[in-house]
Amino acid sequence: MTTFPDGFLWGAATASYQIEGAVHEDGRVPSIWDVFSHTPGATDDGHTGDVACDHYHRYAEDVEIMAWLGLRAYRFSVAWPRVADLGFYDRLVDALLARGIAPVATLYHWDLPQDLQDEGGWTNRDTAYRFADYAARVYDRLGDRVATWTTLNEPWVSAFVGYGSGRHAPGVSDPAAAFTAAHNLMLAHGLGVQALRAAGASSVSITLNLTPVLGDPGPARLVDGLANRLFLDPILRGQYPPDVLDHLSRFTEVNLDDLPVIAQPVDVLGVNYYTVGRVVADPAAEGAPEYPGSRGIAWEPPRGRPTEMGWEVAPSGLEDLLVRLAEEYPGVPLMVTENGAAVPDGVADPDRISYLESHFRAAHAALEKGADLRGYFVWSLLDNFEWARGYHMRFGLVRVDYDTLERTPRDSARWYRDVIARNGLPD
């Protein structure tokens, strides 16, 4: 038996725009994803989050599914566009607590209010201060019942897919804007931590999507800088890595006086892991718009049979990543806040079970090598709106029929239920 530590936090994760629907109810204002998804050509088949999984109206049913699974925690995000009326989150949190499930709240999972985007969005420094005000308001409403708070989910994606490649909302393609957004997102995190601490929060975190980069040393170092160290070092060390600062200075300037705010201490680091990247030097390569300045670098195709997203299945990358974080950024407890796979539709999903089992074993191996890993959240509880890919990519432990909105637990849900009950895996 491969057993995890006592108190290990097994959970599942979702995000507001991906599951809630009800985009016009209870004072919710438009977000950048409302506008972007309604832009012709922005998402596969023009899919939007207008209805999604209708979790806004079906949350009670979904909490019962979580209770059946035996989840110890549920990671969800609060929709900033709903800040005028947070009653839904009152009801959700109370339902979770009634079933013994710890709520883990993310304050920003990409659904910026469109009115802030109209003022520049994350390229406008003021948005960071607006975020801190919002964080304080949400904590004031929910802080008596929510113990664990996450400021941002995957700021790399917000900055470099939202403002670099433009494949996500707000659909901007400008490398200078991407680096500016990255800095302002980190400033928002730091200001948000300060606001949460001032309000009484005892457990505050940030979630980063981190990707081990393998291959030719020079290209791998550059891409690792842009994908990982650009966020890890300012947040956890209070400084930009010199090579990354030199690289970004080719595109824009950032205010280094912000670093003490950005580096507010966190109680846990959330890690979203899905795959590895493999890069090679190729003088003819155009690079990737998500990695400004990567001309001359090519990405190798995934090895083996990839997931439906086209991502390589690489559990060893998770083990290596967790060990690296423990060694290079010691003293910060870790939580896998997202990990999962999009596989072909159906209730029988052996590929998802195989993916999760291999990654759980990798996480356990990292624990044995000294990583202070406190929990693991599967992405995702439900099939949902997978951003620019619409509803074609299914990550859910629970299948959603988008015509009827019926929920059906998959084989992977039953398997995960057993993992949680045993707190481990059979050898």
The residues assigned a catalytic role are 154, 338
Q: Are 342 and 356 in contact (CB under 8 A)?
A: no
* Residue where the block lists tokens 């029929």: 401
Helix (H, G, I), strand (E, B) or coil at 209: strand
* Alpha carbon distance 14, 33 (integer Å): 16
Helix (H, G, I), strand (E, B) or coil at 164: coil
Measured torsion, CA atoms of residues 108, 77, 380, 99, in degrees rounded to the nearest 10? 160
Q: Are 33 and 61 in contact (CB under 8 A)?
A: no
Residue 301 is classified by DSSP as: P
> Of 86, 182, 184, which Cα lies nearest the Cα of 135?
86
Distance of CA 170 to the CA centre of its chain: 17
Q: List the beta strands (DSSP E) in 63-212.
A: 73-77, 102-108, 148-153, 203-209
Burial grade of 348 (CB within 10 A; 0-12, 13-18, 19 or more)? exposed
